[in-house]
Amino acid sequence: MKVNKLRNKLVWGSILVLGLAGLTGLCAAGELDGFAGENQVLRISGGTAHIPVMKAAAKKIMTFNPNIQITIAGGGSGAGIKQVGEGLVDIGNSGRQATEVEITKYGLKMYKWAIDGVAAVTNPKNEVKALSTQQLQDIFSGKIASWKEVGGQDSAINVYTRDTASGTRSVFWKKALKKSGITAKANVVVSNGAMKTAVNNDPYSIGYVSVGFIDAGVAPLSLDGIAPTMDAVKSGQYKVARGLFSNTKGEAKELAKKFIDYLMGPDGQALAAAKGFIPVN
């Protein structure tokens, strides 16, 4: 009798687990249901910090409906805004808010779906792990030219930066460098990924990347005693942060609207968190 009762409990327990698993699967699929029956191409370009989330979302959507094609390109925030404004892409990503001039010129609508921090990084072998805002400004302006001046070894500092179209550069220049100059000797790289590679390959380097891109290949620098962690960004303690935006020409519509709605929904926000960003919902 006891054995039968135990067997019944196990059976019902299994049914309950399977039922919950099925329900979870239905919920996950439900977020993709809006893409059923679509047979379009969605073109996306712009900010490089966005790309890991864009690719992850695109993969899920195209797996659900192989008739949808989603193309993703970088180019920086300025390029994303310009290209969507000129009708070359359907969604233009930016790591900064579009300016009033850009909004008026192109009739842009901005959709903010995550928050990101931007951190100064060095080669993992560098013994310097923290800087003050003033030291950071002096390094990027060229006033401090040797690591020895900030507690490191007697070696020249190689500065790496992004081009002026980059939203990552924009927030770093405004909030970390306080709009001070960047030396003309700085090496210019084209993306967060390229910055990580450059800093990892140069033992005397300093650059900056989206906090979501930090891994063992680079060493983040604390700024004024605050480490650039996701928790510090989320709490507002680390202030070198920005929103991640997807922009459309006018209100988002058709497949672009469905894609942005997906980014703003539970699954898209989970993807953002998994890639090291702070969800807005």
- Per residue in 167-191, pLDDT tens? 899 999 999 999 999 999 999 999 9
Between residues 44 and 7, the one the model is more confident about: 44
Domain coordinates in residue numbering, the chain: 36-116+242-279, 117-241
Question: 252 with 109: CB under 8 angstroms?
Answer: yes
Write the DSSP symbol of residue 93.
Answer: E
pLDDT single digits (tens) 239-272: 999 999 999 999 999 999 999 999 999 999 999 9
Query: What CATH number was assigned to the domain covering residues 36-116+242-279?
Result: 3.40.190.10
pTM of the model: 0.76
Exposed/middle/buried for 167, CB within 10 Å: 0-12, 13-18, 19+?
buried
- Residue 182's contacts (CB-CB under 8 Å, 6 or more residues apart) are 140, 141, 159, 161, 173
Residue 236 carries which side chain, given as an amino acid letter?
G
Instruction: Specify the pLDDT at position 183.
Output: 97
Query: Which of 93, 94, 90, 48 shows the shortest CA–CA distance to 69?
Result: 90
Distance, CA of 115 to CA of 171 (rounded, Å): 12
pLDDT of 19 higher than 80:
no
pLDDT single digits (tens) 30-63: 899 999 999 999 999 999 999 999 999 999 999 9
Q: How far is CA 29 from CA 19, 172, 225, 243, 259, in A?
A: 15, 38, 44, 28, 15
Within this chain, domains 36-116+242-279 and 117-241 share the same CATH topology: yes
Instruction: Specify the pLDDT at position 26.
Output: 39
Q: Which residues of 65-84 are buried (b: 16+ CB within 10 A; e: fewer)?
A: beebebebbbbbbbbbbbbb
The correct CATH number of 117-241 out of 3.40.50.720, 1.20.1580.10, 3.40.190.10, 3.40.50.620 is 3.40.190.10
Question: 112 with 268: CB under 8 angstroms?
Answer: no
Instruction: Specify the pLDDT at position 29.
Output: 57
Instruction: Specify the pLDDT at position 99.
Output: 95
How much is the mean pLDDT over the chain?
A: 90
